[in-house]
Structure 1
Amino acid sequence: MNATTAMTVIPTLETSRLRLRAPRFADWPAYLAFLASSRAQFMGGPHTDETAWPFFCNDVAQWQLFGHGALMLEDKDNAAVLGQVALCKGPLFPELELGWFLYEAAEGHGYALEAAAAMLQWGFAAREEQSFVSYIDPENRRSIRLAERLGASLDETAQRPHPATLVYRHPRP
């Protein structure tokens, strides 16, 4: 799929515990709180509302522009929003990136692995790419471990958005 055939419907994906759904404006306050916190250190943060808003809009707009973007992680039992998973690219990254983040209360429950695995499965079913990448700060040990648990391996030859960024490649199954 390319920009001329982009989807206009954002998918809803479900796992045993999670609903991965389109971002809503009601998600903005928690999203901003995350990006304004030290938890966003590996995403160029902490951010102000002026620098966080473009992130949020980019995550939503990529669905209409390219047929991929971000989905919010929602607990199926209580509808609590736990974080985000995304397949994003646009003009910012050399390749289509699988990315994720969790809000602090959601850490340590396996939600990121569950959501990222579901997004990978959807991505390979819906798109023709032979692989996706995850761009990870070398200090972000938790994301490195998660990428490896998802079956990704370090690709030292891949183009990267910043020279220090690590690129983990998720091959098509």
Structure 2
Amino acid sequence: MRWLRSRRSGQSGRPIPVLTTERLRLRSGAFEDAESLHRAFSDPPSMQWWTEAPYTSLEQTRAHLARPGMGWRRWVITAHGSNLALGFVVAGEKRQGNVSEVGYMLVPDARGHGYAREALGGVLDQLFRAEGQRKAVADTDPENLASRRLLEQMGFGLEGMLRAEWETHIGVRDTALYGLLAADWTGISRPSTAPDRV
């Protein structure tokens, strides 16, 4: 995923409720989770497709997490019975409302267990079923095959390719833009056996 394409003019005004799935608990937070999340922000494979290069210090991660997330909500992913951050899912509501952009990241040792799929599914349930939003979108690099595979497994469809959309630490990059309508969301009933690598 990218961090992140939309620009916001204000807070979303929506709450960040605690969400639970079969194996996970998603809660608010992040700054206090900097040490755990730094495992992702400092990891070159995790940051390859982001606009920024991997962070070289915990202070960079803390500064990133302390920035106001104008219009964005962040759910920190934890396993049931643990408060250790395994990653996060974000949702930022678009200006017209009832359409949110989503993004996600896992720490390296949390990959391959289906956590990204399960956590994103919990957030999509919140957006579509609890809040009545009509659409979710996601922006990823065309070469980020793991992220594209995850989105497609969850029902997102490719809606467009935007050429030379991003200036990143690896150069100017295109964007693969995905969308999912609430009417097409069937939910996640159990963890996938397919590994996630995002």
Give the TM bin, normalised by the shorter chain. Answer: 0.7 to 0.9
Alignment match of 2:40 (pick from 34, 41, 58): 34
What's the C-alpha RMSD, in Å, of the aligned pairs? 2.9
Percent of counterpart pairs with the same letter?
28
Q: Which of 48, 57, 60 is matched with 2:66 structurally? A: 57
More strand per residue: 1 or 2?
2
Q: Which residue of 2 aligns with 1:21?
A: 27
Is the CA contact 2:31–2:62 (under 8 Å) kept in the aligned structure 1?
no
Q: What corresponds to 1:72 in structure 2?
A: 76
Q: SS of the counterpart of 1:81?
A: coil
Q: TM-score, normalised by structure 2?
A: 0.70
More helix by share: 1
Partner of 2:103 in structure 1? 99
- Whether the 8 Å contact between 2:37 and 2:85 is mirrored in structure 1 is no
Is the 2:76–2:88 contact (alpha carbons within 8 Å) kept by the matching residues of 1? yes
**Residue 158 of structure 1: CA displacement?**
7.5
Indicate the residue corresponding to 2:88 in structure 1.
84
Note the C-alpha offset of 1:32.
2.5
How high is the TM-score relative to the length of structure 1? 0.79
Match of 1:164 among 166, 169, 174: 174
Higher relative contact order (CA 8 A, sep 6+): 2
Residues 56-94 of structure 1 show CA distances to partners (whole Å, capped at 9, x for unaligned) of 234xx44xx53x411110000333321111102589xxx
| Deviation larger for 126-135 or 74-83 | 126-135
Quote the residue 2:18 is aligned against.
12
Aligned length: 163
137-146 or 49-58, larger mean C-alpha shift: 49-58
Give the secondary structure class of the aligned counterpart of 1:169. strand
The match for 1:43 is 50
Give 1:131 shift.
1.1
Change (3 A) 1:167 1:70: same
